[in-house]
Every structure is written in C-alpha cells, then in structure tokens.
Amino acid sequence: MISDFNEILSESAKGMKKSAIRELLKLTQVPGIISFAGGLPAPESFPVEDLKKIIIEVLEEQASSALQYGATEGDQGLREVITKAYIKDGLDISIENVVITTASQQGLDLIAKIFINRGDKVLVGLPSYLGGLGAFNNYGANMIGIPFDEHGMRSDKVEEILADLKSKGEKPKFIYVIPDFQNPAGITMPNFRRKEIIDLAKKYDVLIIEDSPYRELRFEGEHQERMYAIDNTGQVVILGTFSKIFVPGFRIGWLIAHKDITDKIIVSKQSTDLCTSPFVQKLAVKYVRDGYFDKNLKNTIKLYREKRHIMLKGFEEYMPEGVTWTRPEGGLFLFLTVPEHIDSGKLFDKAIEKKVAFVKGSVFHCDGSGKNTMRINFSYASKEDIKEGVKRLAQVIKEALNE
C-alpha cells in the first residue's frame, strides 16, 4: 500500500466532500423512520406495467442498436423529442443544441469541468441545490451566495456583486439558478425577476445556468417563461432530467446550450462515460412517443399535489408559533424556518429519536448560514406517513422552543 495516500491525491480530490444527503439517507433507511429528507420521487409514480411492455417492444424491434454503444451526444430520436418539446416552450433551438447526459447531475459536473478553474467565482443562491454546490466545489470554485426574497434570487444583490467584481477587474464564470420550484426553497422565480437577472448577465457578460428538473411538476399557478426562451441568444444553458418526471433509475438528463458550448460538453463527456445508456434512451423515446409520458405525468402531478396539501395542512395545524414555511406551487420540496436561536443540525438528532428525518438547511448554503432552516420533501412518504411525520417534527420543534 502507498505510504501516504493523501500525498498523491489531486487538489480537486482533496477538496471533495461527501454529499450530506447521500450520507443522511443511509441513516434514514432505518425501519420505522419517516423520511422527509431525500429528494426521492414516489415509488407509486413509477410506470412499471407500461415499462414492461415498452422494454419487450424495444428489444424485439431495436435490439441491435439499443444494446450497442451509442453516440456521445445522445440518441437522435431522444434529442429530437426534447428539441420539439422545448421549441413548443419558446426556445429557438435545433437538435445540435441538445446533449443527452447521464442525469442532470452529470450536466452540472460537465459544466463545472469545462468552465471552472480553481479559484474562479460562481454566483449561487442562498440556499441552493447541494448537488450543484458539490459539483462546483469539486473543481475549486469560489462560490458567492446571493440571498433570496419571496421571488427567489435577489437581482439587486446580483448587481451589487457583479459591479463590485467588475471594479476589481473580475467577473464570475456563471450565475447558477433554479427558477422553478427551487431546491431547496420551493420558490418559483416570476418572469420579471428572470428578466432582471438576464439583463444583468448581458450587461456584465456572464453566462446563466438554468437548472430545471421540476418545471413540469406544477400543481397551481401559471407557468413562467424559461430563462433560455426569454433570452434566446446563447446567454443561458438549460439542464433538464427525467429523474423527477419519469424514473430516476434510468439516469437520463440533458443539456441545452449554444453549439459552441455543446461541442465542448460532448468532448468532455467522451472522456467521462463515452455515452449515456442507449437502451434507456430508446425506452424513453418510445415512452414519450407512445403517449405514456403525458398520461403518467398527470397522475404524478395529482399525487404530489395531494401530498403537498396534506403536509401544508399538517404544518398549519401542528407547528408552533414562530415557525414559517414556503408554499411551493410545484416540485418536491418546501423550506421550513424556525426561530434564529434554534440550530436545525441539533434538532436533527432529536428528530431521529422520534423517527422522523429532514435535511438541515445549512448544507444548502455555500457560506454555512441557514442554520435555523430545514428542507422538507413531500413526494416520497405516504400520505399517512406525512400526517404522522409532521406531528413528530412539530413536537421536536415545540420541545426545542421550550428548552
């Protein structure tokens, strides 16, 4: 064995951190624990019977190509399906702007890989998606957190930071946003705020990464425009995925960007995995083209709307005074805030004792703030478990307030 393993590690490897949520999920799998922790889709939303039929058809009709290596940029049929859907949503794109990835997490990693040098600055939300923060951290990014208001990332703070960096002869590599049902906050950014941030990106010549894994899961309110569609000049890169709206186990995602960017993404992906599984891509194409996607998505939205309603009703009934939470119009999460003197990290251990789990909010803050917050998932637990889990969590918080 090497005498000092750490001595030969790269600087990137030395800076890598375990995912707090992945590690947490090991603990929450203990029997009897009601988990609001992971971002897991409901197993009852998985289209098992439809997939049995589709798998047989793909093997009978396309086995020679489905079981072979595929193109790095992705299956042409799937890229056509995605291109058509996004054109309907207002994007001025062609198939050349679409790259299939092994889930959107790979898209985040590839974005970081082609843009970030150690020390480069990146603007992210306070809070922001842990997987994005992890990907940027792995390549040595210096992340600058932008606080939120009720409309999401504050554009005035974005301009303040961009102006300050410009005065020093600097600018960030990109601004990372999750405009629809943001993870973890659950907030949807309205069109006016999206336009404000795009205008700032143009003014200061900065790229925008629009991470959009939940957009299709809207329960109420009106769809807002995609930031890419508002811009349509190449200032924005979109990341999408089937993980939350089809099945996560297939690990199918995509990236949409200006061709100059997709060309670099393809080259970078070639050295990562050669290609995303051709078999699951062909299953996805058939699933969409044969009408299963639209049918099952409606059922999933109905299910999640009901679960969110049960959770919100439980919060209103059981949570003590001084506790607040967001009311997401869609997605999988809401964000709960307790009085500032309470540390959600310390609450977690007590919650586990009462067999209920959440994710402490500080892990979603690049600066370590947000200690009195927590992310709550409502998609995974059963309706009955949501009711009971909310009661248990409320009791933990009440006891902490009375200490």
**Quick one: CA dihedral 155, 157, 160, 166, positive or negative?**
negative
Q: Strand pairing partners for 237?
A: 209
Q: Strand pairing partners for 209?
A: 176, 237
Q: What is the residue extent of each domain of the chain?
A: 5-47+294-401, 66-290
Our separate counts of H helices and E strands in the chain read: 14, 14
Return per-residue pLDDT of the chain as tens, 403 residues.
677 777 777 777 777 777 666 666 666 567 889 999 988 999 999 999 999 999 999 999 999 999 999 999 999 999 999 999 999 999 999 999 999 999 999 999 999 999 999 999 999 999 999 999 999 999 999 999 999 999 999 999 999 999 999 999 999 999 999 999 999 999 999 999 999 999 999 999 999 999 999 999 999 999 999 999 999 999 999 999 999 999 999 999 999 999 999 999 999 999 999 999 999 999 999 999 999 999 999 999 999 999 999 999 999 999 999 999 999 999 999 999 999 999 999 999 999 999 999 999 999 999 999 999 999 999 999 999 999 999 999 999 999 998 7
- Determine the pLDDT at residue 51: 98
How is domain 66-290 classified at the architecture level of CATH? 3-Layer(aba) Sandwich (3.40)
- Determine the pLDDT at residue 20: 65
Q: Which two tokens stand for residue 403?
A: 């200490």
Distance, in Å, from the CA atom of 264 to the CA atom of 244, rounded to the nearest integer, reads 27
Residue 23, helix vs strand vs coil: helix
- Determine the pLDDT at residue 27: 61
Distance, in Å, from the CA atom of 60 to the CA atom of 170, rounded to the nearest integer, reads 56
Q: Which residue, 255, 256, 314, 253, is CA-closest to 284?
A: 253
Q: Exposed, middle or buried, 376 (CB in 10 Å: 0-12/13-18/19+)? A: buried
Distance, in Å, from the CA atom of 272 to the CA atom of 63, rounded to the nearest integer, reads 25
Q: Strand pairing partners for 256?
A: 98, 238
Distance, in Å, from the CA atom of 347 to the CA atom of 86, rounded to the nearest integer, reads 43
Q: What are phi and psi of 122, to 5 degrees?
A: -135, 135
Model confidence, pTM: 0.95
Residue 232, helix vs strand vs coil: coil
**246, 293 Cβ separation under 8 angstroms:** yes
Write down the CATH number for the domain with range 5-47+294-401.
3.90.1150.10
What are the C-alpha distances in Å from 83 to residues 77, 119, 281?
10, 35, 15
Q: Exposed, middle or buried, 279 (CB in 10 Å: 0-12/13-18/19+)? A: buried
Evaluate the omega torsion of the peptide bond into residue 41 and state whether it is cis, within 30 degrees of 0.
no
Q: Exposed, middle or buried, 232 (CB in 10 Å: 0-12/13-18/19+)? A: middle
Q: What angle do CA 348, 349, 351 make, to 5 degrees?
A: 60
